[in-house]
Chains A and B, each alone.
Chain A
Amino acid sequence: MTTMYEEQYVWRLPVRVYHWINAAAITVLFLTGLYIASPLMSSPPGEATWYHGMAWIRLIHFATAFIFIANFVFRLYWALFGRDNYARFAGFTPWKPAWWGQPFKDQLASYLFIAKEEPNYCGHNPVAALTHFLFVFCGSFFMIFTGLAMYGENNPGGFIDTLFGWVVLLFGSSFAMHTVHHLVAWVFPVYLVLHLYAVVRHDVVDKSSVTSSIITGYKHRVEQCPELFAD
């Protein structure tokens, strides 16, 4: 059997730009966040006014956080209103039992080596969509809310504190919230491992060039896409 590779434009430019800004922002946020929690740099001798080491790291963390938030909000807009079949929320309906039906089960069975077939989706497969939702969407949401609540503490009674200060109450104290923010940040490196493994594996198994697709936007269709839903 000779395989016909059909080029398919899947990830439009806004999605690809979002992806890489997000990847860079999360990397910077995670590393600066770890640094803020436990500053490693050995203290230089001299006057405190000569240095701004910690202040710079915090500034980078905060500035990157706002880029991350803007990017996230843009992605939400794109998911809700963008005319983009592969990047929309429209198909993602986990509150409906139907969503957990055959496509999801087949995909999970294939990942668990129960089924022999490897379904190959043009966009996200249902298991991938769920993983993205849990890690990237929920994770980001959590980090943004707790992060803004902590940022608001720099200016009590200010704009951000007024909007997000209530989040602190959910955790009891500011310190407890810092701890949870720190703990949940680890969701991203865990996700990175799963994500990188999954794309490389799909490249190898499906030969769909999923890895390069997030740069070029093109995937290669090797076989017929299964229908996610029969409308």
Chain B
Amino acid sequence: MSAKGESYAEILEARGISRGDFLKYCSLLSVYLGLSASMVPRVVKAMETKSRIPVIWLHGLECTCCSESFIRSSHPIAADIVLNMISLDYNDTLSAAAGHQLEAVRKQIMKDYKGKYILAVEGNAPVKDNGVYCMVNGESFLSVLKETAADAMAVIAWGSCASFGCVQNAKPNPTGATPVHKIIRNKPVVNVPGCPPIAEVMTGVIAHYITFGSLPELDRLKRPRTFYGTRIHDKCERRSYFDAGMFVERFDDEGARNGWCLYKMGCKGPTTYNACSSIKWNEGTSFPIGSGHPCFGCAAPGFWDNGPFYTRLADIGFVGTDSTADKIGAVAVGGAAAGMAAHAIGTAVKKARDSKPEPTEVEEG
């Protein structure tokens, strides 16, 4: 099992990673965290001296895409750090152990590192009918989550499921799927939304904790500001086409081939906060918009209910139909006009009737 008190640097050294590579990794990490160059030595020192923070990684209602993303951190050492940190502790997907053996590990960590471990949660907990819609090892995930969070130092909600609910709590949310921060209210919770979140964002959040001993600065939705501070739109490589008004109208048109703005194809970049357009994916290769596909806002709360993905205007349920704001508005204006026309006729009829039987009341002009 884990060697207590081992620092990240020692782990990396044991794995044959050179000092130069280690320093490179620390510099890169500082850039991801938005730190100035003068802070790099602090990151290095933290990585050299601080002992590992144990992480328990739970899986609730989810698809494991967060784990998949996490183990693909672009920098090899980042992945190494992360895997060391997790494979030694508890992750029911990545661990070699399984079943009761693994559950014993979780209980052991909770006991040995009481109040000192980070709880990483992938997926959310269905709360309807006492949480029977997600059972782990014969227990409801809801109770496992509460139990494990009770002695955690902080909780990291990985991915849109844990942060906001994602597809599980899209309407009508049959299982009562509830994001982590609405269940765990007495612990600091960090939301790292995205479906999945970018690997570097995930390692960055843990690295921040290691370096500074505190959670990164969060915004109103409890997301780390460093990574979720701006919209994808604001750093999008196609932004100039947006400002110019050059839009892709169809996926096979000239604009699509020339890499124009995907706004009219339903791109949610203008309303989605994530680092996709700056850090990108798969070792900085590309991101959805870079590959010609509109962003569908997977890091935004309730994105499944703001569909369809490929139109700009959302469908709004309106007397049993799927309408857009413009359709509803046009109907309302039409209704008002019809109502006023009917009223005008009513007025004319009334005037005519009023003036007939009592001619004395007619104005003489």
Contacts and interface: CB of A to CB of B under 8 A. Distances in A.
Interface of A: 1-3, 34, 37-39, 41, 43-45, 48-55, 57, 111, 113, 116, 153-154, 156-157, 165-166, 168-169, 172-176, 178-179, 182-183, 185-186, 189-190, 193-194, 197, 201, 204-205
A116 B243 contact: no
A54 B312 contact: no
B300 interface: yes
B329 A175 contact: no
Contacts of A194: 336, 340
A107 to B, nearest CB: 14
A48 B302 contact: no
A38 B260 contact: no
A29 to B, nearest CB: 14
Given A175-B272, A179-B325, A186-B330, 16 more contacts: A37-B312, A48-B243, A51-B246, A52-B244, A53-B245, A54-B245, A57-B245, A113-B346, A156-B230, A157-B229, A173-B306, A176-B301, A179-B314, A190-B332, A190-B336, A194-B340
A3 B361 CA distance: 12
Given A175-B300, A179-B316, A183-B325, A41 B245 contact: yes
A48 B325 contact: no
Contact of B344 (A34, A173, A201): A201
B147 to A, nearest CB: 29
Contacts of B328: 183, 186
A175 B242 contact: no
B354 interface: yes
A48 B306 contact: no
16 contacts: A3-B363, A34-B326, A37-B313, A37-B326, A38-B264, A43-B249, A43-B260, A48-B260, A52-B244, A53-B245, A153-B271, A175-B268, A176-B306, A186-B329, A193-B333, A201-B347
B300 A193 contact: no
B363 A1 contact: yes
Contacts of A182: 313, 325-326
B271 to A, nearest CB: 4
A39 B262 CA distance: 12
A175 to B, nearest CB: 4
A182 B225 CA distance: 28
Ranked 7 nearest A-B pairs via Cβ: A186-B329, A53-B245, A51-B244, A197-B340, A174-B271, A48-B240, A55-B243
Contacts, number: 142
Given A52-B243, A168-B220, A197 B344 contact: yes
B329 A183 contact: yes
A165 B220 contact: yes
Contact of A38 (B313, B354, B363): B313
B229 to A, nearest CB: 5
A44 B246 contact: yes
A70 to B, nearest CB: 26
B271 A175 contact: yes
Given A175-B297, A179-B316, A190-B336, A39 B264 contact: yes
A38 B364 contact: no
A148 to B, nearest CB: 15
Nearest to B299: A173
B297 to A, nearest CB: 6
A189 B364 contact: no
B279 interface: no
Most chain A C-beta atoms within 10 Å of own C-beta, residue among B220, B229, B271: B271
